[in-house]
Amino acid sequence: MNFLVEKILVTKISGEYSIIINPFGEIYPEESRANLLSLKRIMKYIEEGGVFVNVAGLAFYYSWDGKESDLTGPPYETYRLREGGILERVVLLCMSYLTDTMFYRLTKVRTTFFNPTVLTVYPISDKYFNEIDKVGGDIKVLEFRSAFRSEGNNELIPLLVAKHRIVAQQGESIFLQCYPIAAVRCGLGYLVLIGMKLEKRRKQDFEKVIKTIECIVNKLHRVGKL
């Protein structure tokens, strides 16, 4: 299968393209912060049958207008007392609620909230995706903000599986299953989520992403759906 690859501006997003990849991870280009025109264009593209791949972390967490980035949800704020009795407002991005982000509002899909963690991954029982865990010669990925549950009407489709081990107060282990690679069905199309932190030193993670995109195209071409 041959691919024609083209770099486009966010203003050029349209049904002309079968698949669009956002290479900026948690940041997406936004032409109008006041009206979120670019985000609306992206969602329209997906809902009308397009495939939009977000390559790392939480989709649409930050918007970027070409000059500076901005959080898409309300930040967690507190105050600290400075010398002289002056109160100073402090914004704590690390404590901002992930359910307040634009991604959750649009999809109702929850993601993990841990720091980047190396986890062993497991394949799903789908012949188009059951070899992704071995790609790159390593069955571990650097998981970060991967999807684990849909709380709305959008179908969450796991493409790669991992488990977080959480130690409860009583000392017993609880396992949270998550999906470092997944797709969310939105209308007629798919928002593909790469719940990893991609780093240069972990080439194997990047190779898994590339292979997943190939598998998605292959399955859609042959089956018509994921």
Closest to 101 in 3D by CA, of 143, 160, 57: 57
Can you give the pLDDT at residue 124?
94
* Cβ atoms < 10 Å from Cβ of 210: 12
Average of per-residue pLDDT across 126-149: 94
pTM of the model: 0.85
Task: Confirm whether 54 is domain-assigned.
Answer: yes
Q: How many domains does the chain have?
A: 1
- Is residue 91 a contact partner of residue 76, using CB atoms and an 8 Å limit? yes
The DSSP symbol for 108 reads -
Task: Confirm whether 110 is domain-assigned.
Answer: yes
Check pLDDT > 90 for residue 148. yes
Average of per-residue pLDDT across 122-136: 94
Amino acid found at 151: E
By percentage, how much of the chain surpasses pLDDT 70?
88
- Is residue 133 a contact partner of residue 160, using CB atoms and an 8 Å limit? yes
Tell me the β-bridge partners of 138.
Answer: none
Task: Identify the band that residue 1 occupies on the pLDDT scale cut at 50, 70 and 90.
Answer: low
Can you give the pLDDT at residue 32?
86
Task: Confirm whether 1 is domain-assigned.
Answer: no
Task: Confirm whether 2 is domain-assigned.
Answer: no
The DSSP symbol for 155 reads P
Task: Confirm whether 5 is domain-assigned.
Answer: no
Check pLDDT > 60 for residue 97. no
Can you give the pLDDT at residue 54?
95
- Is residue 26 a contact partner of residue 57, using CB atoms and an 8 Å limit? yes
**H runs (alpha helix) in the chain:** 37-47, 102-107, 203-222
Per residue in 167-224, pLDDT tens?
Answer: 766 767 788 899 999 999 999 999 999 999 999 999 999 999 999 999 999 999 999 9
Find the CATH number of the domain harbouring 64: 3.40.50
Task: Confirm whether 181 is domain-assigned.
Answer: yes
Can you give the pLDDT at residue 64?
85
Per residue in 35-81, pLDDT tens?
Answer: 889 999 999 999 999 999 999 989 998 888 878 777 777 555 556 66
Can you give the pLDDT at residue 91?
57
Can you give the pLDDT at residue 37?
92
Least confident residue range of 7-16, 19-28, 37-46, 90-99: 90-99
Task: Identify the band that residue 100 occupies on the pLDDT scale cut at 50, 70 and 90.
Answer: confident
Residue 89: domain span: 10-222
Can you give the pLDDT at residue 81?
67
Can you give the pLDDT at residue 95?
46
Which sign, positive or negative, has the C-alpha torsion 87, 92, 96, 100? Answer: positive
Can you give the pLDDT at residue 98?
67
Task: Confirm whether 3 is domain-assigned.
Answer: no
Task: Confirm whether 41 is domain-assigned.
Answer: yes
